[in-house]
Amino acid sequence: MDAQKFLATTVFIILYSILIAKGEKLIVSTLIQDPYLFNKAKSGNAPVYEGYIKDLLERLSKDVGFTYDFIFPDDGEYGRQLPNGTWTGMIDDIVSKRAHMIAGSLTVTSKRADVVEFSYPFQITNLVMVLRRPDQARLPVIDRIKRIWSPFESSVWLLTIAAFFVTSSAIYVISYFNPYDWRRLARDGEATIRERESFTCMNSFWFALSALTLQGYIRSPRSLGARVVVTAWWMFVIVFVSCYISKLTGLLQIPPNEEEIEGYMKFQGLRDVINRNIKFMVIRGGAVDDLIRYNTQQEYIQRLGAELKSGGSGEYVANLTEGIKKLENYPSGKKAYITESLMVKYQTQRYGCQFYFVNEKTVKRQYSLGFPINSTYTNLMGRYILQYHEEGYLDYLEKKWFTGSCNQYIFEGTDEKYKIQEFYPLDTASFSGVLIVVAAGILIGVLVTIVECIIFKWAESGDPGHREHEPQKESKPDDIQTTSSLLGQQNDRTDTQTDVERSDKCTIVFLETDQTGFASDITDNENTAIPETEKFARKPVACGNFNFTLKNYQIIRY
């Protein structure tokens, strides 16, 4: 029976509260503080208020059924108790009956709860330490250049250069002497002049360098010995480039002023304010001020309170804006602003992410709406606020007004999570394995080349008809045209000798010159320059060794 009476009484009170609330105009005491409440209108125009509190009151006014007007305390304070027992700020507006409700970032404390009733909290937050971020340090030009070589120790770079020169030289020597490579094939007439020059001394070094920079190539070595060396070099290149990129990535993640940044990353909370002798600021008469001055359980907080009372490292500010401005002009890591307000997330965007924040998880604070004692609105609006929590509406408001681009600078202060990883350059011991692979590849390539030379000599000794031939020259359109014109004049010849004659051992050539007369004493024709001429004389030259006595001549093959 008692339970039924209690239920009926509760329902009656709620219904009665709703009835008397419908259409009532409430006076709301608050403070202008971004992003909870701010005036969007330009100076001189009627105020247009926006913010977290504005959106919350608009929703409550629709659900409960009331209208409201804002008033602002003359002293601009949240509310603190004076020695004579009176109150200041928004709390005084309620006590003096100038307002029906307090709406703002008002923290629930035991002293305030003696004179004001609080609804269900609409926000729960931690204590926050705000510090100025270290300035972005710029390295000198010399140090920036040194960073390019920092991934490896000096010994590794020297060994890499040595490996490059040794490998390039090995490729050149093997290509020069190996009978199955381009040089010998060109001598036998089985490769062009360009193919013959693929692995000259300069081109061999260029081939190794292009592989080191992951570039392509036109021709690869043809002999097995040279290919063994190139394969070992490619394995070296893969390991070298992979290690360099991975080490350079880790190096670039380390900031220039590593010691200073590591110091603020290790900042863990209020204990560090005392342990590091950091100056700090709090809002006078705010909830943090009460927490620090009247705490009797935590020794480090009591020490903070002693600093405030003595005027040592502690300092009072009037509001959040004043504290942020003082922090902006103070050296990094030397001063902290302690607050429980979520407004610091918003302030980071206004000041270009100049600050970072450390959450003090051991201290939880609540923001609630304040009402006079025995107000009919306390439970009514508290019930709707609880409903907004369940619906996710309050989470939506927090994301709308407090989430910004600087949230990455809100830290929990644990060494494990935010410790800057140390960088170590790659040393010779770690890099020696791939150097051994290159050395083994060169050794095996030389042995294979020796075997190839032996096989070639054995095969050559079994072929008595084998002779070396001049390298094939790549055909040109002018050669073909000249040949055609010469062949076209064949019928005009008085002699019966054929212009183009071929034998099984050599090729008949024509000698063309702008001088009268023909060549005599023809002997050696290897590696002879062939200039262009305008006047031509032609004569079939028999196969054999010959030497040109004329200054201008051209040899054309058929």
Contact 164, 208 (CB under 8 A): yes
**Please, where are the H alpha helices in 311-392?**
320-328, 343-350, 377-391
Rounded Cα gap, residues 171 and 365, in angstroms:
74
The secondary structure of 118-178, three-state, reads ECCCCEEEEEEEEEECCCCCCCCHHHHHHHHHCCECHHHHHHHHHHHHHHHHHHHHHHHHC
Asked if the peptide bond before residue 35 counts as cis, ω within 30 degrees of 0, the response is yes
* CA dist., res. 302 & res. 307, Å (int): 9
Provide the b/e sequence for 199-232 (b: ≥16 CB within 10 Å): beeebbbebbeebbeeeeeeeebbbbbbbbbbeb
Task: List % helix, strand, coil for the chain (3-state, nearest 5).
Answer: 45, 15, 40
Is 494 labelled as part of a ligand binding site? no
Residues 6+ positions from 476 with CB-CB distance below 8 Å = none
Output the CA–CA distances (angstroms, integers) from residue 442 to 215, 432, 433, 435, in the order listed. 22, 16, 15, 11
* 287 contact partners, CB below 8 Å, separation of at least 6: 78, 107, 109, 340, 365
Using DSSP, state whether 424 is helix, strand or coil: coil
Whether the CB-CB separation of 86 and 293 falls below 8 Å is answered with no
Is 398 part of any known ligand binding site?
no
Torsion on CA atoms 488, 494, 500, 505, rounded to nearest 10: 180
Q: Alpha-carbon distance 243 to 249, whole Å?
A: 10
Query: Counting beta carbons within 10 angstroms of the beta carbon of residue 106, is it exposed (0 to 12), middle (13 to 18) or buried (19 or more)?
Result: buried
How far apart are the C-alpha atoms of 448 and 166, rounded to whole Å?
17
> Facing residues of 123 across strands?
367
Give CA separation, 45 vs 28, 55, 197, 538, in Å.
Answer: 21, 21, 85, 105
Q: Is 340 annotated as a binding residue?
A: yes
What phi, psi does 371 have (nearest 5°)? -135, 160
Instruction: Write the CB contacts of 57 (distance below 8 Å, at least 6 apart in sequence).
Output: 28, 68, 103
Task: Phi first, then psi: give them for residue 127, nearest 5 degrees.
Answer: -75, 140
The Cα 326–Cα 281 span in angstroms is 9
Burial label, 43 (beta-carbon count in 10 A; 0-12, 13-18, 19+) = exposed
Q: What residues form the annotated binding site?
A: 107, 112, 340
Q: What residues form the annotated binding site for L-glutamate?
A: 107, 112, 340
